[in-house]
Chain A
Amino acid sequence: MNLTLRIWRQPGPDSEGAMTTYEVSGISPDMSFLEMLDTLNEDLIERGDEPVAFDHDCREGICGACGMVINGDAHGPERTTTCQLHMRHFTDGETIDVEPWRAAAFPVVKDLVVDRSAFDRIIGAGGYVTVATGSAPEAHATPVAKPAADTAFEHAECIGCGACVAACPNGSAMLFTSAKVVHLASLPQGAPERETRVLDMVGTMDDEGFGGCTNTGMCTTVCPKGIPMSSITTMNREFLRATRKGGGSR
């Protein structure tokens, strides 16, 4: 396949960026999208040009490092991560636009690389169970009903890629935050910190400059792990409950 790529190039956080056009040829339909970019980058290096910077690591769809807006869609046309998107979903001769995640809370570092450290701070605000190493009770001391364990797992699957934020017209991190809130609220182990957790995480989310939720559902549409929209509803209920209980944040 031969393709025309229009890629966002931006040398640094404070520089101006622009869409830059490249031609690539000899692309195999079996390549992943990132392998297609590897091909472009090898050409660029050989010519002495700087390759396109992009985050990636496991290339198995689980680490959450990769992510770019492809033809306007976060992670492109398939509901998967960019590393698991293959070129067979494009056609020969096509022009493809490639941009970084666009969100106020995710400043561009370089080219397609953005700073998602706000996610780490949301987790640090309460996305855990306080349990010092070695102090845990015997694992079978507290049974967990299978449906609750399954709900917890489905929300714990979030890979923190940030597609939800990138796709949201408001740049909201509600789906990311709610996935962790619901994961831990579903389990008895999460109960003692249930109120402080949701209040602190939501507070940090707001402080980091993410927008509010207006129920467009774009987040869940692009989520490679299928975190459901109901996650946000549950978090809102948890937030209201915690507020009513007067459970001030820590």
Chain B
Amino acid sequence: MTSPYLDYTTGDPIADTKAPAGPVAERWNRRRFEAKLVNPANRRKHTVIVVGTGLAGGAAGATLAEQGYHVVQFCYQDSPRRAHSIAAQGGINAAKNYRGDGDSVQRLFYDTVKGGDFRARESNVHRLAEVSVEIIDQCVAQGVPFAREYGGLLDTRSFGGVQVSRTFYARGQTGQQLLLGAYQALSRQIAAGNVEMHARTEMLDLIVADGRARGIVARDLVTGRIDTYFADAVVLASGGYGNVFYLSTNAKNSNATAIWRAHRRGAHFANPCFTQIHPTCIPRSGDHQSKLTLMSESLRNDGRIWVPVRAGDTRAPADIPEDERDYYLERIYPSFGNLVPRDIASRAAKNVCDEGRGVGPGGQGVYLDFADAIARLGRDAVAAKYGNLFEMYARITAEDPYATPMRIYPAIHYTMGGLWVDYDLQTTVPGLFAIGEANFSDHGANRLGASALMQGLADGYFILPATLADFLARHPHDEIPPDHPAVTDAVSEVTDRLYRLLSNNGDRTPDSFHRELGEILWDKCGMARTDAGLREALERIPALREEFWRRVRVPGSGSDLNQSLEKANRVADHLELAELMCLDALHRTESCGGHFREESRTDGGEAERRDEEFSYAAAWEFTGTGTAPVLHREQLLFEYVHPTQRSYT
């Protein structure tokens, strides 16, 4: 059987029509000036739905409500404070240049375009760098307790291999503190009656009528009730799709349903194969593993990564003499050593494990050794820098990283791909916007450390409120009848599917399918991808999907809290999205950023990007479950940052 997906066709090219022409540094100002405004007295008349309450959604909901719009907001968690942005550790980038170390908007722009391996849009990235400085002001004013120096000013650190110190942080809990800032601003608007908040409520479909997004279908997770909500615009801030891999650093309930249902209703999905694998996660301890835990990559500043020289060496690390250890990053990349970028470090770890030299259970791990750092700096100095991370590691693994090397292994961490959006963050469905990790816009094929928080807050606080006003001003409020066929169709599709899941009476759990899908993706569409492997995945995924609908078992009813039903419904969407990811990875025969094709390497064995053929964003149009999608290319132009091949040797 060959996958029908292989017969995908190429449609008209797609272009961003919203970014103004002219010098890149003036485009955002110009767009803001040209955007139409909504009279403050008229804003109450406009309802905006926001799905998700993370950094992007929380910031957008609070800001739009403050400005006078009527916001109806949703999250599947029991409180908007628990969105997974809360787990971000490292920090947030901003071109403040408080250190006087040569940072600027221009440099942050340059670093982000280059770090994204030249697969992001210059206009968007420049705007992100401009807005970054305002984010810090906003968060400080909200009372976000950033780290400070004794003089009372904000501290910064360097991150992810860039040469300036532009990362603001709150110990290892920057995401938590920024999210609580947005959550508190949102809570103020909820209390004031400007935001109608629906916690424990999950979006299950998008209502598109007469060519425009008009609302959503959502399920109250406690009562099981299916309701429709109408609005003048819908904003998806539902995060990324890393959980399609089953094991990832995402929250257990993070899911792709909102963006996937929007895709099925006409929103193009861009670059789904661009996923980021983080090199420093705690390895899995067994088949029971339910998720993976990241440890800040700052550990690579002082830890040395190694594996035994000999395959199958099962001696304890302390018994392996120095000359039988392979510090492979230092050996292969002498100038960057242990500090090579995330994608390179991850692939190198995979390679040594594939050679049978991995350590720990299942041979899926490498050592991260602090013995030299402890000898050089002393235990106390190492504890002062990394104490909380060492504690976390010890709690999870029951090993003492001061005495024995840590074991680490790469894990799925972030997805650069997402819904295609124009400069206004609007998808291909008019009135549907996507912000934060849910869209594809700013990170190209690889995201730099401490840039996800920056993008989420930039979109939510500053960019969307300006561009959404333009849309609302151009589309006066009108209503569709609640019995419009688009509404009844969406509702019956949702209820039919839930009914089908509940009445299936199969013999396999939703999680068992999710695990199996995750294994296929990790093997075939993970750190290294091949033509043959991706073709195999494109055969296995539809077969697994068919088996899912035949054999899945969901106990309980649809009329109360039913976590198996929630899970099964999300896995059903993962089983469709996974197929598109593999097709995207198959069609992009170059290597770039987080997407490494074994066939596309330089003579030195490193990733080889092929700009002549692939300098575009791939925006996929849905045509039906299991039928070939249509590819629309958005050509990328680089007027300011000229593409170069990355080299770290």
Residue from B294, B462, B563 within 8 A of A134 (CB atoms): B462
Asked if A45 and B81 make an inter-chain contact with CB atoms under 8 angstroms apart, the answer reads: no
Chain A contact patch, size range: 35 or more
Is B550 an interface residue, CB under 8 A from the partner? no
Is A133 an interface residue, CB under 8 A from the partner? yes
Residue from B98, B252, B554, B562 within 8 A of A59 (CB atoms): B252
Asked if B251 and A58 make an inter-chain contact with CB atoms under 8 angstroms apart, the answer reads: yes
CA of A138 to CA of B149 in the docked complex: distance in angstroms? 17
Residue from A65, A120, A146 within 8 A of B148 (CB atoms): A146
Is A5 an interface residue, CB under 8 A from the partner? no
Q: Which residues of B in the span 503-530 have a Cβ within 8 Å of any Cβ on A? A: 507-512
CA of A123 to CA of B189 in the docked complex: distance in angstroms? 11
Residues of B within 8 A of A3 (CB): none
Residue from A34, A59, A146 within 8 A of B149 (CB atoms): A146
CA of A64 to CA of B98 in the docked complex: distance in angstroms? 34
Asked if B82 and A65 make an inter-chain contact with CB atoms under 8 angstroms apart, the answer reads: yes
Are A160 and B555 also in contact (CB < 8 A) when A42-B511, A88-B398, A133-B66 are? no
Is B465 an interface residue, CB under 8 A from the partner? yes
CA of A89 to CA of B357 in the docked complex: distance in angstroms? 32
Asked if A128 and B556 make an inter-chain contact with CB atoms under 8 angstroms apart, the answer reads: no
Is B633 an interface residue, CB under 8 A from the partner? no
Which one of B176-184, B323-331, B362-370 is at the interface? B176-184
Scan A141-180; emit 1 where CB is below 8 A from any B CB, else 0: 0111110010011001101100000000000000000000
Asked if B152 and A144 make an inter-chain contact with CB atoms under 8 angstroms apart, the answer reads: yes
Q: Which residues of B in the span 183-222 have a Cβ within 8 Å of any Cβ on A? A: 183-185, 187-188, 190-191, 199, 222
Is B87 an interface residue, CB under 8 A from the partner? yes
Asked if B82 and A28 make an inter-chain contact with CB atoms under 8 angstroms apart, the answer reads: no
Is B134 an interface residue, CB under 8 A from the partner? yes
CA of A47 to CA of B146 in the docked complex: distance in angstroms? 50
Is B145 an interface residue, CB under 8 A from the partner? yes
Residues of B within 8 A of A232 (CB): none
Residues of B within 8 A of A138 (CB): 137
Min CB gap B239→A, angstroms: 12
Which one of A68-76, A184-192, A207-215, A235-243 is at the interface? A184-192
Asked if B191 and A124 make an inter-chain contact with CB atoms under 8 angstroms apart, the answer reads: yes
Is A51 an interface residue, CB under 8 A from the partner? yes
CA of A103 to CA of B9 in the docked complex: distance in angstroms? 59
CA of A207 to CA of B541 in the docked complex: distance in angstroms? 53
Asked if B286 and A134 make an inter-chain contact with CB atoms under 8 angstroms apart, the answer reads: no
Which one of B72-80, B99-107, B379-387 is at the interface? B72-80
Q: Which residues of B in the span 32-49 have a Cβ within 8 Å of any Cβ on A? A: none
CA of A128 to CA of B79 in the docked complex: distance in angstroms? 16
Min CB gap B582→A, angstroms: 27
Is A39 an interface residue, CB under 8 A from the partner? yes
Asked if B153 and A140 make an inter-chain contact with CB atoms under 8 angstroms apart, the answer reads: yes
Are A139 and B96 also in contact (CB < 8 A) when A51-B564, A80-B395, A187-B145 are? yes
Q: Which residues of B in the span 282-337 have a Cβ within 8 Å of any Cβ on A? A: 285-286, 288-291, 293-294
Asked if A136 and B141 make an inter-chain contact with CB atoms under 8 angstroms apart, the answer reads: yes
Is B461 an interface residue, CB under 8 A from the partner? yes
Min CB gap B195→A, angstroms: 10
Is A115 an interface residue, CB under 8 A from the partner? yes
Residue of B nearest to A52 (CB): B563
Asked if A183 and B560 make an inter-chain contact with CB atoms under 8 angstroms apart, the answer reads: no
Is B592 an interface residue, CB under 8 A from the partner? no
Residue from A38, A64, A121 within 8 A of B511 (CB atoms): A38
Asked if B152 and A146 make an inter-chain contact with CB atoms under 8 angstroms apart, the answer reads: yes
CA of A12 to CA of B557 in the docked complex: distance in angstroms? 12
CA of A64 to CA of B560 in the docked complex: distance in angstroms? 23
CA of A172 to CA of B87 in the docked complex: distance in angstroms? 27
Min CB gap A92→B, angstroms: 16
Asked if B564 and A139 make an inter-chain contact with CB atoms under 8 angstroms apart, the answer reads: no
Residue of A nearest to B150 (CB): A146
Asked if A128 and B81 make an inter-chain contact with CB atoms under 8 angstroms apart, the answer reads: no
Asked if B176 and A62 make an inter-chain contact with CB atoms under 8 angstroms apart, the answer reads: yes
Residue from A119, A131, A146, A183 within 8 A of B79 (CB atoms): A119
Residue of A nearest to B510 (CB): A45
Residues of A within 8 A of B293 (CB): 59-60
| Most chain A beta-carbon contacts within 10 A, residue among B288, B553, B561 | B288
Residues of B within 8 A of A51 (CB): 555, 563-564
Are A59 and B170 also in contact (CB < 8 A) when A146-B152, A183-B143 are? no
Residue from B288, B291, B555 within 8 A of A31 (CB atoms): B288
Q: Can you list 23 pairs linking A and B with CB atoms under 8 Å apart?
A: A28-B285, A28-B288, A44-B555, A45-B509, A45-B510, A45-B555, A46-B553, A50-B562, A55-B78, A57-B84, A60-B294, A63-B77, A116-B78, A124-B191, A125-B191, A133-B59, A136-B140, A139-B141, A144-B148, A153-B170, A156-B170, A157-B173, A183-B143
Q: 3 closest pairs, A vs B, by CB?
A: A143-B152, A124-B191, A136-B141
Q: Which residues of A contact B (CB under 8 A)?
A: 11-12, 28-32, 34-35, 38-39, 42, 44-46, 48-51, 53, 55-65, 80, 84, 86, 88, 109-110, 113, 115-117, 119-121, 123-125, 127-140, 142-146, 149, 152-153, 156-157, 159-160, 183-184, 187, 189-190
Q: Which residues of B contact A (CB under 8 A)?
A: 59, 62-63, 66, 77-82, 84, 86-87, 96, 98, 134, 136-138, 140-143, 145-154, 170-171, 173, 176-177, 180, 183-185, 187-188, 190-191, 199, 222, 251-254, 285-286, 288-291, 293-294, 392, 395-398, 461-462, 465, 507-512, 553-556, 560-564
A48-B553, A120-B187, A149-B148 given; name 13 further pairs at CB < 8 Å: A29-B398, A30-B398, A34-B290, A45-B509, A46-B509, A58-B87, A63-B86, A117-B199, A119-B79, A124-B188, A139-B141, A146-B149, A152-B143
